[in-house]
Chain A
Amino acid sequence: MSSTVRVELPANLCLLAGVHYGVDISLDGPVTQRTILDTLETAYPMLRGTIRDYTTQQRRAFIRFFACEQDLSHAAPDDSVPDAVAQGREPFLIIGAIAGG
């Protein structure tokens, strides 16, 4: 089954990827954090290493994943994201964590 997911990016990554605010990506199969990020990085290879560590694939420390008013940052990368995200009704938000005053 094919899904279109809206991914919204922080401003610094929009600048790097050359996009405005966010992107729509198409996925086949399960919609999880991992498949969303894999698809995003395939379409925008300049984002590799900026959201997840290159080697460990762990989320970078000051990156957060939000959707449907939930913090998904600590969810397992292969867990399904909420249906509303997989169905394109709600965006998957990649956020630069608040740090500093």
Chain B
Amino acid sequence: MSRVRVLVGTRKGAFILSSDGKRKDWSVAGPHFAGWEIYHLKGSPVDPNRIYASQTSGWFGQVMQRSDDGGATWNPIGNQFVYDGVPGTHQWYDGTAHPWEFKRVWHIEPSLICPDTLYAGAEDAALFHSTDGGVSWQELSGLRKHGTGPAWQPGAGGMCLHSILLDPGNPERIFIAISAAGAFRTDDGGKTWKPINRGLHSKYIPDPTAAVGHCVHHIAMHPSRPGTLFMQKHWDVMRSDDAGENWTRISGNLPTDFGFVIDVHAHEPETLYVVPIKSDSEHFPIDGQLRVYRSRGGGNEWESLTKGLPQSNCYVNVLRDAMAVDSLDSCGVYFGTTGGQVYVSPDAGDTWQAIVHDLPAVLSIEVQTLP
């Protein structure tokens, strides 16, 4: 029987939750790297026992870790992230020019074809690349240097490159997203990049339809349709059917279209999940009711999923990398909260149960479906 391994990054360490295909009974391992912020963990699709982790601290900086045995043991790998050339400046909160400064790795994306190749999305925004299992890192600086970099500015959480999507059918094509710059695409393996933000409207920037400056919170893709992208923006849920060239709003009947996470069902490329959050100033669910919303038609028409989720006095947030799906026959959906709960739905969102209640604030969730 297949099984699942859920990789949970939290404010105070990493946890690994394991279950068989029923996803009813769970074992919990951790904390790994206790006391450190674990922004993200992700396993190699080629070798699931190869897992990478971003371990960070305001005091001690960035550490990267690698496990070659499914998370049982870990070893530090390279943590030298150096911007290519003179880093230059981006916009600071007050509009002044501010030098690029490396702070941390928000997201790790292992290659779809090689366990030693991976990408790291950094704050201040940049994309790094390793081809030696994370021992050394090189910046793909065409992104930062393509021309609009000086106009990028940090969102409230920092100027982070938080989303990396690899096109399964075209190894030269990568999508990334930055808060607050927007979405970008390369079609030549990272040498050159273009902003892909046409159709986004952000009233919190001087030109609401500017080419860059949008606070994109997360982007998602179904691997069978790499030309179709879904986006949770600061406000607005969006989709593109032409690899990001044009975006349309699909918020439809959502009670609020502010939020952080968005994901796609493993077997139904038009089934989407979001967790609406009340507003940019009130980062919690409306009316204290934690609700996942599902669209089975690619957006616009959304249904509320509440069975098993707290429907009173719930004031947690669900951060941008804290939702994932497994690929078992009945697609499992997972998300983690700033209150330390990790929820699973083994039936594509119809019912939910808490795997754990009291972890530190959850920063990220990834799921591995194992034989």
Tell me how far the C-beta of B61 lies from the nearest C-beta in chain A, rounded to whole angstroms.
Answer: 5
**A43: Cβ under 8 A from any B Cβ:** no
Stretch at the interface among B76-84, B156-164, B361-369: B76-84
Interface-located stretch among A49-57, A73-81, A85-93? A49-57
Q: Are B79 and A63 in contact (CB under 8 A)?
A: no
How many residues on A have C-beta within 8 angstroms of the other chain's C-beta atoms?
A: 21
Residues of A within 8 A of B34 (CB): 15
In angstroms, Cα B36 to Cα A82, docked, is 32
Which of B58, B59, B79 touches A48 (beta carbons < 8 Å)? B79
A58 to chain B, nearest CB (A): 12
A50-B60, A50-B61 are contacts. A12–B79 as well, Cβ < 8 Å?
no
CA of A12 to CA of B57, assembled, Å = 9
Shortest beta-carbon distance from A71 to chain B in Å = 17
Q: Does B26 contact A (CB under 8 A)?
A: no
The A interface, classified by DSSP as helix, strand, loop or mixed, is: loop
In the complex, what residues of B have CB within 8 A of residue A11's CB?
Answer: 35
Across-interface contacts of A62 in B (CB, < 8 A): 58-59
Q: Say yes or no: A49 contacts B59, CB within 8 Å.
A: no
Number of residue pairs spanning A and B whose beta carbons lie under 8 angstroms apart? 49
- Closest residue of chain A to B58 (Cβ to Cβ) is A62
Q: Which residue of A lies closest to B62 (CB)?
A: A49
Q: A11-B35, A15-B35 are in contact. Are A50 and B63 (CB under 8 A)?
A: yes
Please judge, given known A-B contacts A12-B36, A15-B35, whether A97 and B59 are in contact too, CB under 8 Å. Answer: yes
CB distance from A80 to the nearest CB of B (A): 26
CA distance A99 to B57 in the complex (A): 12
Contacts known (A16-B63, A60-B61); A49 close to B79, Cβ less than 8 A: yes
Q: In chain B between 46 and 105, which residues have their CB closer than 8 angstroms to a CB of chain A? A: 57-63, 76, 79-80, 82
- A9 CB, nearest partner CB in chain B, Å: 10
CB-CB < 8 A to A45: which residues of B? 76
Contact indicator A54/B82 (Cβ below 8 Å) = yes
Q: Are A15 and B60 in contact, CB atoms less than 8 angstroms apart?
A: no
Known: A50-B60, A50-B61, A51-B60. A12 touches B76 (CB 8 A): no
- The interface bits of chain B over 25-42 (1 if a CB of A lies within 8 angstroms of the residue's CB, else 0) are 000000001111000000
Given contacts A12-B36, A15-B35, contact A63 B80 (CB under 8 A): no
Residue of B nearest to A53 (CB): B61
Q: Enumerate chain B residues within 8 angstroms of A12, measured Cβ to Cβ.
A: 35-36, 57, 59-60
Please list the residues of chain A having a beta carbon within 8 angstroms of any beta carbon in chain B. Answer: 10-13, 15-16, 45-46, 48-51, 53-55, 60, 62-63, 96-97, 99
Q: 10 A-B contacts, Cβ less than 8 Å apart?
A: A12-B57, A15-B33, A15-B35, A16-B63, A46-B76, A49-B62, A50-B61, A51-B60, A60-B60, A63-B59
